Structure 1
Amino acid sequence: MVSRSNFDLNLKELKDKLFAMAAEASQSLHASIEALKTQDIEKAKEIIAHDKEINRMDNSINQQAILLIAKESPVATDLRKIISALRISSEIERIGDLATNIAKSTLHIGDQKLIKPIEEIPKMLGIAEEMLEGALEAFREEDAALAKKVADRDDQVDEMYGKLVAELMTYIPNYPNEISQITQLAFTCRYIERVGDHVTNICENVIFLVTGERFDLNN
């Protein structure tokens, strides 16, 4: 294994890439709901195209992590730091995919008149965004207690998901010609609910990093 200072420098570079990727995915996620609210088709297309950059960043992190393991043969905490970064990168990449899915729902809806203003869905996303920010902070500070606290908020996302989808289903009898739109809005709620699940997975990896133990926080 190379010198401690070199390893720490390489690890910092890996984490910097991870936080940069998270910023891109978070931006796409926020923009996807804004595009839905305003029915901005061009913005939705930009979000979909940008997913390639998030995927590229994920691949770069994977390659660097594998190279770091191969060159330095880390053990114990050092190995957990690399493995956690790999797993968290995968979760962030999936969050980027979900932002793309929301943008695709916007394309499906197109310029149809919305059955109601998009107000509650952004509130649900707001909780998921706060969770993501908190999970990344827990990773940065290696704070298992904060990770657990962030994961606990997933119950709020799940509760809002259930209420919003149930409400959307009540519109079907009065808007039989808008079933496609209602379905896409329900899909969007599901995508945000999945964001909460992926953030919870990030929290699990933070706890693994700190304690060396695996916990299922999604139950």
Structure 2
Amino acid sequence: MKKHIVSSYDWELKRLNSTVTDMGYLAMEQIEASIDAMRKRDSKKAKQIVLDDQKIDNLEYEVANLSLRLLALRQPMALDLRNIVASLKISSDIERIADYASNIAERSPLLSSSKPIQLLTPSIIELGNLVSKMFKNIVEAYATQDSLKAMQIWKSDVRVDKMYNKIMKNIISSMIKNQKSLNSHTHLLFMAKTLERLGDHSTNIAEDIYFLVNGKQYKKARPKG
């Protein structure tokens, strides 16, 4: 990043980027914890995930304040302006991702221990691990402003979609055969959809990183499985 004559300007930009990165890593921990809560049906961990979501909200508020200060006092242009705009958008996506993690955590203790649910849960966990890794990589791409890495992650969303579509078919098929556990099947449907949406938000962030680095929108249609 090009240095400015006013050193405090550089410090403020670095603080903005580090705050967004911190948000990302906190959200990543939330995702991983929610997947673990699902695996273990851990209601205590699930409650803690929901409580910890406030930390993400606080950081998003800090990002907004830092951005407004930079826009008002520094009159940024070119790369600096793109950095601020992209960081605002990315922080919003991260906040939504953390909300998704909380949603998964809240549903996890409600899953029954019936055999059909036990058979379906591992595939949801596998999808969760995939989107968790995808999100971890996109946070790292933002931290290093690596647009090539970001677009590789963008392309990988097709794997998430393919896995999600397969899971949905299996859940619906199981619902038809196992009417007594409809509630748990419904929770699994929502959890799978939530993880798929998490992948979509990671692709949003990838596009914002591309804009930040290259100064133009990424115009290719998103790959779908």
TM-score (ref. length: structure 2): 0.91
Tell me if structure 2 keeps the 8 A contact 1:197–1:218.
no
Residue 138 of structure 2 aligns with which residue?
135
Aligned mates of 1:23, 1:137 — CA distance in 2: 9
Corresponding residue pairs, total: 217
**Does residue 172 of structure 2 align to residue 172 of structure 1?**
no
Q: Is the 8 A contact 2:21 2:142 kept in 1?
A: no
Distance in 2, Cα, partners of 1:100 & 1:69:
32
Counterpart CA distance in 1 for 2:193 and 2:6 is 44
Greater shift, 183-192 or 207-216, is seen at: 207-216
Deviations 1:133-167 (A, max 9, x none): 22122222222221111100100001000001111
Please provide the CA RMSD for this pair: 1.6
* CA displacement 1:85-129 (0-9 Å, x = unmatched): 1111111001000001101212433x5446224312222122212
Measure the CA separation in 2 of the matches of 1:45 and 1:123: 22
Match of 2:162 among 128, 140, 159: 159
| Structure 1 residues 105-116: aligned runs within 5 Å | 105-109=107-111, 112-113=113-114, 115-116=117-118
Q: Percent identity?
A: 31
Task: Tell me, yes or no, if structure 1 residue 100 matches structure 2 residue 74.
Answer: no
Runs of 4 or more above 3 Å deviation: 111-114, 216-219
Within a 5 Å distance, the mapping from 1:17-32 to structure 2 comes to 17-32=19-34
For 1:5, give the aligned amino acid.
Answer: S
CA distance in 2, matches of 1:41, 1:196: 25
Residue in 2 aligned with 1:90?
92
3-state SS of the aligned residue for 1:119?
helix
For structure 1, the 5+ residue unaligned runs are none
For 1:57-98, what per-residue CA distance to the aligned partner results, in whole angstroms no more than 9, with x for missing partners?
111111111111111010111110111111111110010000
Partner Cα separation in structure 2 for residue 29 and residue 20 of structure 1: 14
Q: 2:35 aligns with which of 33, 42, 52?
A: 33
Q: 2:109 & 2:60 partners in 1: Cα distance?
A: 26
- TM-score (normalised: structure 1): 0.93
Cα distance, 1:174 vs structure 2? 2.7
Give 1:56-95 correspondences, 5 Å limit.
Answer: 56-95=58-97
Q: What SS class does the counterpart of residue 171 from structure 1 fall into?
A: helix
2-side partners of 1:136 and 1:40: how far apart?
Answer: 27
CA distance in 1, matches of 2:144, 2:26: 21
